[in-house]
A and B are shown apart, each in its own frame.
Chain A
Amino acid sequence: MAGFREYKVGARLFAMAFGGSMCITLLFPSINIAAVSSTDVALSKQLAVGHETGFNLEDPFLQGKNKPTVVALKADPKTGQPLGEAMSVFVYQPGTTFPAGILHPRILGQGIEQLSVEQGHITDAQKAYGAVFTVSKGTYQGKEFSYIDNLTATKGWMPADVMHSAKDEDISHAGAGKTYFVREGCWWCHTLLPEQTQDWQVFGAPPMLGDFNGESPTAFGSDRKAPDLMHVGSRNSSKEWLMMHFFNPRLVQPHSIMPRFDYLWGEKDASGNKIDYDKWRAEYDEYREGKRVSPPDVPAYASDSEIRSLIDFMLSLK
């Protein structure tokens, strides 16, 4: 065996060079990034989206399982007393995995971690019973912070009670929607990160340092063939427009090159009737050929359809 007799110096230099490079590109940035505190955006985003929206063992086929719901709560679910203004709560049904910030409060950042644990009791939340969270304000060492409040522990609100008192239009399935956003590859064309400089005029403010704590995957996207979506819910909050645009983008934007996502409507429409896609496409083709005056109507989506969750996610991107 010839071995590396002549290469002792080279092998050591290689170890130094590669090891040094790994220190600079992995160790040092990780120290910096680990010190980043969560912003309000990061707190509500991870609570809304849940543990993981890419491949994971609880939802291996990315069907939007194991996800929380966001409820705009108008009345106290225990007493039925109306609340002054609607309150955004994040409902984790029993068995739903909690997001990284609940499982590892350390990633929330100085102050937020202490408030969330001591006042918000997030470490008391148990997967087997589910929990209801919200983002509250509190003071730690004289400074004000937002923190995660486990309402199940602090107010005794159970997931089932909250869901019982909520109407369908007050519920957002943004977490499941983000899963479909990842699965359908929306991020291959739509970024979730505005570019530098003038882009901010059109697509809104760039994210802050702590906006991503607890989020996975971040799905920034890199190859932008379509508008940035980071703040799309602030630019366009029309469910009707989004519905038509997803079903066939050419209905609202004749020059769009976006694929049709009509298959996300599933088998049945909102009234439980079977959706006849072949008929719709045939009628749409007639419209395109000028044989019809107007395109066929887009079927209203069922409240448990995948497209509903995806639209909820779009609207959550404020």
Chain B
Amino acid sequence: MFKYLFAKNEDIPAGSAAVFFGFSAIIWFVIGTGLGSFNAAKLAFPDFVTGNIYFAFGHMRQVHVMAVIFGWISMAFAMAMMYITPALGNTKLWSEKLGLWNCLLWNLGLTLGLTVLWAGITSGREYSDFPWPVDLYLAFFVFIPLAVNVWMTILNRRTQGIYTTNWFFASAVFMVIIVFLVGNSPEFFHLTGLTEAYLTWWFAHNVLGLWITPVAAAIAYYTIPKVTGNPLYSHRIGHLHFWSVVVFYSTPAAHHLMSAPLPEWLKSFASVEGVLILVPAIAFVSNIMLTMKGKWHMFVENIEVRFTITGCLMAIPLNMQGGFQQTRAINWYIHGTGWIVAHAHLALLGFSTFLEAAAVYLGLQTIMKRKLYSLTLANMHFWLLLIGFTIYWVSMTIAGLIQGAGKIYEVPYIDVVIAEHPYMIARWIGGTLVFTGNILWLYNMWMTARKGTEVPEGRMPHELGYER
């Protein structure tokens, strides 16, 4: 990869940026889930690695969160954009060179950001923990170059219309820049008090709602029609999904702060808009499920379809939770408990990760023209992820309900901690399974690059049978 950084753009093989991004994303996924597993161990066994400032839970928790969001998830998105955007425009990526530099600067910036966070240098704001110089770096050297590449590729497309996936990509790369710059403005301009608190959660909400959720869904709009060969069930339902994301998902930020003294109209408005998140969710899931018509055997036979459909199915409980848990009727019970932690992992490790993993599997095979090295390893990856995640989700949901009950019945807090302990151990086991699965995945993709069977010209990898 590095030899192309100073090459002429036209000498760089198409897809180089996507491959660089793909492997970076997998490596960050291994690192991020490894840190998650370590943190979970500390919650289950508080004297595990103790008395050292650099291995304290409070120093490592945010490193896990930021590594998976800005390393794994966002880089997998960039990987998908680097190969899907040109493919849907029947053209080449606007600049492979910009893509390669983008990936290099991303890796460097994220390494820097995570290192300072680990050292305790933090803004003290959840999800926007990076100190403001790192925020500016990420905006100007990560998201703006990405947006330029995606937009220029779409503008230079050789098709008349723009396919659904590319609407989402184009709008999300634009919106994430706005979210990054506005959401971090309390740090740039030293805004204080409720403004700071509200903007913290405005950022946290919108980075999920206007970046992670729409891009993950957009990927499914590509992978399912591409691999199954069925056209997207409905372009119009795609429209409904797109517009309802922009209108409904961008507004409920205040529902994260229902117990804070924010203006009541804002909380009520956010809560109502929060329920309306079900509109894009139902549009998306139904569109994908109906696209599968006649091809459900691929859910069993094909690894990319299996990952994508599993992710889409997880969007159902995710959005039923998301829509209703933020209403006042339910929020008072489960806010601040493990239920929310379970929900956040359902969004990021369940729904979103499964869709991106499919895009990375499909993309790396397509670009490298190599058939997946081992279906067995891919199956193990899938099941370790799914079982690990399920253990995590179930245990944290139960822990959250215990905490909620403890809260309303005024149980002494230590009794809640004692009651939660078995679920903390289960959560650590679940997280460790996910981590193990990801190591297998990294090995599998590495072997695919080295030893995978060559895919003949004019063929797609999924048209070939698996060999191992």
Interface members, chain A 253-269 (any B CB < 8 Å): 253, 255-263
Interface members, chain B 88-111 (any A CB < 8 Å): 89
Residue from B44, B124, B413 within 8 A of A219 (CB atoms): B124
User: Chain B 44-63 against A: per-residue CB contact (8 Å), 1 yes, 0 no?
Assistant: 10110011110011110110
B residues in contact with A219, CB < 8 Å? 124-125
Residue of B nearest to A212 (CB): B193
B230 within 8 A of A: no
A224 touches B403 (CB 8 A): yes
User: Chain B 148-169 against A: per-residue CB contact (8 Å), 1 yes, 0 no?
Assistant: 0000000111111110000000
B259 touches A195 (CB 8 A): yes
Residue from B42, B58, B269 within 8 A of A184 (CB atoms): B58
Residue of A nearest to B120 (CB): A183
B266 within 8 A of A: yes
Interface members, chain A 170-191 (any B CB < 8 Å): 182-189, 191
Smallest Cβ distance from A16 to chain B, in angstroms?
A: 10
A residues in contact with B421, CB < 8 Å? 255, 257
B417 touches A17 (CB 8 A): no
A85 within 8 A of B: no
A185 touches B51 (CB 8 A): no
Smallest Cβ distance from B190 to chain A, in angstroms?
A: 6
B residues in contact with A208, CB < 8 Å? 261
Q: Which of B30-38, B220-228, B302-310, B334-342 contacts A (4 or more CB under 8 A)?
A: B334-342
A199 within 8 A of B: yes
Residue from B58, B246, B332, B336 within 8 A of A191 (CB atoms): B336
B258 within 8 A of A: yes
Centre residue among B44, B52, B120, B122 by max chain A CB count within 10 A: B120
B298 within 8 A of A: no
Interface members, chain A 1-37 (any B CB < 8 Å): 1-4, 6-7, 13-14, 17-18, 20-22, 24-26, 28-30, 32-34, 36
| Category for how many chain B residues contact A | 35 or more
B454 within 8 A of A: no
Interface size on A, residues (CB 8 A): 88
A residues in contact with B414, CB < 8 Å? 253, 255-256
A residues in contact with B294, CB < 8 Å? none
Smallest Cβ distance from B270 to chain A, in angstroms?
A: 8
Smallest Cβ distance from B265 to chain A, in angstroms?
A: 8
A216 touches B260 (CB 8 A): no
B residues in contact with A250, CB < 8 Å? 46-47
Question: Complex: how many Å from CA A256 to CA B156?
Answer: 60
B193 touches A213 (CB 8 A): yes
Q: Which of B195-203, B211-219, B367-375, B376-384 contacts A (4 or more CB under 8 A)?
A: B195-203
Question: Complex: how many Å from CA A182 to CA B171?
Answer: 35
Contact A33:B193 (CB < 8 A) given known A18-B175, A188-B57, A195-B335: yes
B residues in contact with A197, CB < 8 Å? 332, 408
Contact A54:B187 (CB < 8 A) given known A33-B198, A60-B121, A211-B261: yes
B336 touches A223 (CB 8 A): yes
Residue of B nearest to A199 (CB): B407
B434 within 8 A of A: no
B residues in contact with A227, CB < 8 Å? 413
A218 within 8 A of B: yes
Question: Complex: how many Å from CA A36 to CA B269?
Answer: 20
A236 within 8 A of B: no
B51 touches A281 (CB 8 A): yes
B159 touches A226 (CB 8 A): no
Question: Complex: how many Å from CA A185 to CA B31?
Answer: 21
Q: Which of B16-24, B249-257, B275-283 contacts A (4 or more CB under 8 A)?
A: B249-257
A residues in contact with B258, CB < 8 Å? 196
A55 within 8 A of B: yes
B259 touches A33 (CB 8 A): no
Question: Complex: how many Å from CA A32 to CA B261?
Answer: 12
A14 touches B171 (CB 8 A): yes
Main secondary structure of the interface of B (DSSP, over half): helix
Smallest Cβ distance from B276 to chain A, in angstroms?
A: 12
A18 touches B408 (CB 8 A): no
B43 within 8 A of A: yes
B194 touches A187 (CB 8 A): no
Smallest Cβ distance from B438 to chain A, in angstroms?
A: 23
Question: Complex: how many Å from CA A34 to CA B175?
Answer: 25
Contact A17:B58 (CB < 8 A) given known A55-B132, A218-B196: no
B192 touches A215 (CB 8 A): yes
B119 within 8 A of A: yes
A residues in contact with B89, CB < 8 Å? 2
Contact A182:B417 (CB < 8 A) given known A55-B131, A188-B58, A216-B191: no
Residue from B193, B269, B424 within 8 A of A218 (CB atoms): B193
Smallest Cβ distance from B361 to chain A, in angstroms?
A: 30
Contact A198:B410 (CB < 8 A) given known A18-B175, A188-B58, A222-B256: yes
Question: Complex: how many Å from CA A42 to CA B261?
Answer: 13
B residues in contact with A253, CB < 8 Å? 414
Residue of A nearest to B119 (CB): A61
User: Chain B 406-422 against A: per-residue CB contact (8 Å), 1 yes, 0 no?
Assistant: 01111001100110010
Centre residue among B57, B182, B256 by max chain A CB count within 10 A: B57
B193 touches A263 (CB 8 A): no
A132 within 8 A of B: no
Residue from A2, A17, A25 within 8 A of B156 (CB atoms): A2
With A250-B47, A255-B418 given, can you name 14 additional A-B contacts, CB distance below 8 Å? Answer: A17-B246, A18-B175, A18-B246, A21-B247, A29-B266, A32-B263, A55-B124, A62-B121, A185-B120, A194-B259, A198-B408, A207-B260, A208-B261, A213-B194
Residues of A within 8 A of B (CB): 1-4, 6-7, 13-14, 17-18, 20-22, 24-26, 28-30, 32-34, 36, 42, 46, 51-55, 60-62, 100, 107, 182-189, 191, 193-199, 201-202, 206-209, 211-227, 249-250, 253, 255-263, 277, 281
11 intermolecular pairs with C-beta atoms under 8 Å apart: A17-B247, A22-B178, A30-B195, A33-B193, A185-B58, A188-B57, A212-B194, A213-B192, A216-B192, A225-B417, A260-B51
Top 10 nearest A-B pairs (CB, nearest first) are: A185-B58, A55-B131, A54-B124, A217-B124, A182-B124, A212-B193, A183-B120, A224-B336, A21-B250, A196-B332
